[in-house]
Every structure is written in C-alpha cells, then in structure tokens.
Amino acid sequence: MSVSGVQRRLSITDIRAMKGKQPVVSLTAYTTPIAKLLDPHVDLLLVGDSLGMVLYGFESTLPVTMDLMIAHGRAVMRGAKRACVIVDMPFASYQETPEQAFRNAARLMSETGCDGVKLEGGSEMADTIRFLVDRGIPVLGHIGLMPQLVNAFGSYRSRGRTDAEVRKITQDAEAVVDAGAFAFVIEGTLEPIARQISEASPVPTIGIGASAGCDGQVLVSDDMLGLFSDFKPKFVKRYAELGSIVENAVETYAREVRERSFPAPEHTFGAVKPKN
C-alpha cells in the first residue's frame, strides 16, 4: 500500500477486508532484525507473548510482563514498514476488569505505536473486547487452545474433541465477532470445527494448528525456521533448519579460534603482512 508513492503499513481495515479475497499471511516477530526480514512478505506481524518461551526460556507464557511486551513491540515497530503489527496482551494485564484492560491496551499502543492488541478468550472476554473497541483499541481475538489458560486446561492438547468443547469454541467465535474484534486466531482446534467457524465468520480467522480453511495462517517464526531441534509441534512445517546451520557455524568458529587461524590478517587493523 502506498499514498503518493509513500509506503504505508497495512491497517486493521486492510486485514479485515481480506476476508474471502486473499489469505492473511502472519508470523511472529520479537526483534528489529527479524521484523525487517519478515516485513516485505507478510501481512501481519504478531509480537506474541510466546517470546517468553522462545527468547527467555520460560516454561509457559505466564511470566511475561507488560514491560517485556512493550520493549519487544517497540523493537518490531522499528523494523516494520509494511505489515500490520499486533502486540499480545500478557497474562493478568486484562482479565480483571475492562477498565484494567483499557489502561494496559492503551499503554501498549501509545508506547509501541502498534496497530492493535491481541487477547485470549471468547464469551468470557466479550465485554472487555467491546469496551476496548468502543474506545478505539483494535482487538485481534484468540479462541480454541489458549496458552495463557494452560493451568486451567491442564495441557496444550487440541480442542474440539467433545460436543461441549465444540459448543464452547463456536460460542466463543460468535462472541468475539459480536464484540467487535476485527479478526481472531483459532489455535489448536480440530480441523472440521475450525473450518466451519471460518466459513461462518464475517471477519478473518487466522489459524495455527487449525485448518487450511481459515482465512489466514500464523506460525512462530523460530519454529518454522527450525531454530530449535528439540521440539516441533505437529502443526508446524519446517521451512528451514537454521538451528543446524548456526550450530555448524559456531563449531567452525570455535575450531578456528583454537587453531589461531581466526582472526586472519584481513580481519584485523594494521596487521603486519607475512613476507613471501
């Protein structure tokens, strides 16, 4: 998108208008260099609270704070010129009251410059989503498997396996749409259920471990790039194996340092060139 030759970032209106026309391409980003690499190719960059596990080694997303999300949101915004940027609201920053959610969402947007926020929850969060949207905070919903509720669910298993779960997920989808979310993520949900919800939804659905029938897809960038070899979720396709490339490069570097073949004269300043 450009205005008078000046490129502008995709807006939430642009993302919403992609429903039924073009799949929404989305990936997570946490740093400026990665945002710069992804930005030309994606429609939406998600600064996910998954950064707690990916970057900081937490066992879940629960320890992630507002300060962390703001710091990484700022970093991504410095690298994003085209993609719409959405920042996750961390656990306990929005569940207490709609007023608490507004204060923290407003802080996220004002201190990062992002285009909107994402929060987890369906029917139980509908009033909060509506409260935010009515006050100018664009909201990306998130239903199905919700990582911030891992302790309540007891595991990260997929959802939609029982009639009760299907009813809950379907009701959640309707609730976030009615509350004004411009789109919503469907995570870890059985394929037929995610497909049905996507077909019925008037706003874009973005799948992760859901269905190709969703209106878009999102993955954790580090997962799809193969930066970790110890665990790969079923729904992740590895488009590269950067972990092994990094490991091989470091192994070569370590060997050359120990052999004193690095740094060579061309890597130093004012080095005396060896005589022939």
Binding-site annotation, residues for Mg(2+)? 49, 88, 120
**Residue written as token pair 């973005």:** 206
Q: Which residues are annotated as a binding site?
A: 49-50, 88, 118, 120
Q: Determine whether 187 is an active site residue.
A: yes
* CA 76 – CA 74 distance, rounded (Å): 5
Long-range contacts of 32-37 (CB under 8 A, 24+ apart): 32/75, 32/76, 32/78, 32/79, 33/79, 34/79, 34/221, 35/75, 35/76, 35/77, 35/78, 35/79, 35/80, 36/79, 36/80
C-alpha dist (Å) from residue 35 to 48, 77, 83: 13, 8, 9
Give the dihedral sign, CA 128/133/136/139. Answer: positive
Q: Dmax of the chain from CA atoms?
A: 81
Short-list 221, 194, 220, 226, CA closest to 207? 194
Catalytic pick from 99, 124, 187, 256?
187
Angle (deg, nearest 10), helices 98-112 and 126-134: 50
Active site residues: 187
